[in-house]
A and B are shown apart, each in its own frame.
Chain A
Amino acid sequence: MLLEVTELTKRFGGLIAVNAVSFAVAEREVVSIVGPNGAGKTTLFNVITGLLRPEAGDVRFDGRSTLGVAPHRLATMGMGRTFQNIRLFAHLNALENVMIARTARTRAGVLDALLWRDRAERARTVEQAEALLDWVGVGANRFRMPSELPYGDQRRVEIARALALEPRLLILDEPTAGMVAREAHGVIDLIGRLRDGGMTLLLIEHNMNVVMAASDRIVVINFGERIAEGPPAEIRADPRVIEAYLGVEE
């Protein structure tokens, strides 16, 4: 298993945001986490990516425990992510945003910069960032600042940035949140292409049609607890899921 989450618990004061949640993601698998707002999905992602420390439980990435490992180390180990509320670097343009994620994959130090020994590496970084932006469909807008881009394009840049890490696992937190239908369709199409490209995905997504179509497995969370896990067909028919999501049908 590429990612193994066991009995993970995260509290905020008295609130148990994540309560003994377990699941795993195998290589090349697409796993979706679904659940109502406030269920603890983002908190779960933040613990996995090292931004929050859990009170109990364990996260293993590629067999190694990630507890206490700094976020930038986890990123370097191959955990790429996007944020529910897009977090691009506001004073860097799209191209430079993507180039940042190559920092950990390149070497040039201060001395190399002073002695002009970093030019070949930088040219390659620019090339790779441009190829990625082209692949996500923002090639023509690669010199724009994040604030000059429509929301859908900002998300594409954020995905390209995470891809520049050469991630082994790509974690997407509500990639279509707040988008108009046309933008959302573009991003959903992009997720399909990632899946077809062999990328291992861990996804939070509210659009159930997308989740059902794209996922190999679905984990359902409610009030911080895992209430169901299984392939889409099973989840669709699970009465606990229908209850949590749609309210009890009389």
Chain B
Amino acid sequence: MTYAGLEPVLIFTLLNVVMVLGLYVTAMSGQLSMATAAIAGVGGYASAVLTVKFGWAFLPAILMASLLSALVGVALALVTLKMRDFILKLTTLAFGEALAVLAFNWDYIGGANSFTGIGLKTTIWTCVIATSVALYVAWRFDGSRLGFAARAVRDDPIAAGAMGVSIAEVRGITFAVGGAVVGMGGAVQGHYMLVISPHELGFFISLNFIIFLLFGGLQTLWGPLFGAILLTALPEMLRFTSEYRLILYGLIITLVVLLRPNGMLTRVPTGREWRLFGYVLTPARPIAPPSAGVKPLPVAATGRPVGQAAAQ
């Protein structure tokens, strides 16, 4: 395959990575959103309108598109704050479909005829940069104070609340950060496709990202990265058996879900060693020797300085 033939595949792979990393961050607090494509659409339409109708430059348009998508993400977080399981997924789905219907009926952004005439601004390098930004944001958030608070909320919202974590704050933040990343992806994609139609906001596009995430594993950001790359590239690699392509694709996903229900990759917890095929990549932190003797409580009991309580 020549590079010219390969470039679209590369671009779509990178764009999918951006979207799935945004979904990964969104899902960190336990709410698996089914509106990823709709949030991406918000970014795409916003950037299209800003560049075409208002003459904005590409970069500020992307940043504004990101910001708007983050705000829409927060709105979704607020709507679904108290919801769980089936109702939650249904509501995120309905939220996405509502945005699609809105786009369909809003003539200013093209309505059913799509938004056309978007300027070609995106190159492979734009996608490389967008992917790097998405990776950096996801990676920094992943290991941050709020990233861990989000994981706690996902594992057990009641225990997280009892430990002082605000569920509303954490969910708002993951939806905002995830929405910003997805919106950036949508904006960049718009300037490659040059057309945005309301259909691209639909649930079936979102479902792809969910499959990438669940396939790769949602405990570590390397999971969705791996999932998006493999599952975007795999159908291309399997071209030669085009008739059976979808069946094979489905079979691989089913096998993974059955054999590794937590996804292909799992997280390495703090202090543990990183391993690849049995090789230790980074050493674990040393195990502490058991402490000897009676020590004072290492936190201030009843709000007094450490040591004072034990002295009385």
Contact = CB atoms under 8 A, between A and B. Distances in A.
A233 to B, nearest CB: 24
Contacts of A116: 140
Contact of A100 (B141, B163, B309): B163
B272 A78 contact: no
A196 interface: yes
A197 B270 contact: no
A176 B152 CA distance: 24
B2 interface: no
Contacts of B141: 110, 113-114
A81 B162 contact: yes
A166 B162 contact: no
A118 B162 contact: no
Interface stretch (A13-21, A138-146, A238-246): A138-146
Contacts, number: 187
A198 interface: yes
Nearest to B141: A113
Given A91-B267, A145-B269, A198-B301, A130 B309 contact: no
Interface string A126-141: 1010111011010110
Contact of A161 (B163, B219, B269, B285): B163
Given A143-B285, A164-B299, A197-B296, A88 B270 contact: no
A161 B272 CA distance: 20
B159 A137 contact: no
Contacts of A93: 269-272
A101 B309 CA distance: 21
B164 A76 contact: yes
Interface centre among B173, B285, B298 (most CB of A within 10 A): B298
Nearest to B218: A91
Nearest to A139: B288
Contact of B310 (A51, A83, A196): A196
A75 B289 contact: no
A194 interface: yes
A169 B302 CA distance: 7
A27 interface: yes
Contacts of A134: 288, 291, 295, 298
B282 interface: no
Contacts of A194: 297, 301
Nearest to A83: B159
A108 B143 CA distance: 12
A124 to B, nearest CB: 11
Given A139-B291, A199-B301, A96 B148 contact: yes
A79 to B, nearest CB: 8
Contact of B160 (A90, A100, A145): A100
B14 interface: no
B145 A163 contact: no
A42 to B, nearest CB: 13
Nearest to A93: B269
B312 interface: yes
Nearest to B285: A143
Nearest to B176: A110
B177 to A, nearest CB: 6
B297 A165 contact: no
Contacts of A215: none
Given A89-B151, A90-B155, A109-B146, A103 B165 contact: yes
Identify the 9 closest CB pairs spanning chains A and B, nearest first.
A198-B309, A104-B164, A113-B144, A197-B297, A93-B269, A75-B164, A143-B271, A89-B155, A131-B298
Given A113-B143, A194-B301, 5 more contacts: A72-B167, A96-B270, A114-B141, A139-B291, A145-B269
6 contacts: A101-B163, A121-B145, A132-B298, A135-B291, A139-B291, A198-B310
Interface of B: 136-137, 140-141, 143-149, 151-152, 154-156, 158-167, 173, 177, 219, 267, 269-272, 284-285, 287-291, 294-304, 308-310, 312
